[in-house]
Amino acid sequence: METEILEVVEGPAGERAIERAAALLRAGRLVAFPTETVYGLGALAFEPAAVRAIFAAKGRPPTNPLIVHVPSAAEARQVVRGWPERAEILARTFWPGPLTLVLPRDPRVPDEVTAGLDAVAVRAPAHPVARRLLAAVGAPVAAPSANRYGAISPTTAAHVRKSLGGAIDAILDGGATPVGIESTVLDLAGPVPTLLRPGAIGREEIAARIGEVAVPAAAPEE
């Protein structure tokens, strides 16, 4: 397939690019888009076929769960089962931003997103293009990094095109990502908050808000 490059510029042309990307996502297609960390490869989170297409495009093992992107804590509650006080504190402090929270999943979230696990990873990105896109889609978007599995995560649209051009429907070009490293992933599904992946927000910053944060003996590979 030919991958569309949708450049986000000032004015009506930029709005048309975002609406085109949103329309593709609503139709079950794959669109790469910028977040403040890296570019993500998005698909509708509640559509199993669209989510499976992410794994096919990336060559990613289906045993590796995805992160669901939402505009805010209000929308996050639609994909999780329960919203503990720790989640509320962290969302108020760090969202929108590069912190991913793992919580028990709502039954509407398909197994394809969570690799069959009973928990789902969710975050509200801060990048203005990502936020405008999520608002235009009007539904949660599952998105890992927009690169072939095992490659370096992309921080520009050119990186995405080099890695996935011809394998995805469109790239929403919002310029270089400002942070450039992955989001921090924190598991709140168990009794003790556990850092699953270090990232842009440090363990100490999180512990200062909610207390003890455990670290597993061996962190999982990307």
Q: Which helix (H) or strand (E) holds 121?
A: strand 119-123
Taking the C-alpha atoms of residue 39 and residue 174, their distance in angstroms, rounded to an integer, is 9
Query: Position 158: which residue type?
Result: A
Taking the C-alpha atoms of residue 139 and residue 26, their distance in angstroms, rounded to an integer, is 8
Query: Which residues are CB-contacts of 209 (< 8 A; sequence separation ≥ 6)?
Result: 89, 90, 93
**pLDDT value at position 218?**
60
The alpha carbon dihedral of 100, 3, 50, 136 has a sign of: positive
Would you state the structure tokens that stand for residue 70, as one six-digit string?
A: 């939402």
CA distance to 2, 4, 97, 105, 170, per residue, from 121 (Å): 31, 28, 14, 8, 24
Taking the C-alpha atoms of residue 36 and residue 155, their distance in angstroms, rounded to an integer, is 9
| Separation of CA 84 from chain center | 21
**pLDDT value at position 216?**
85
Low-confidence ranges of the chain (pLDDT < 70): 218-222
CA distance to 74, 161, 188, 219, per residue, from 36 (Å): 20, 18, 23, 23
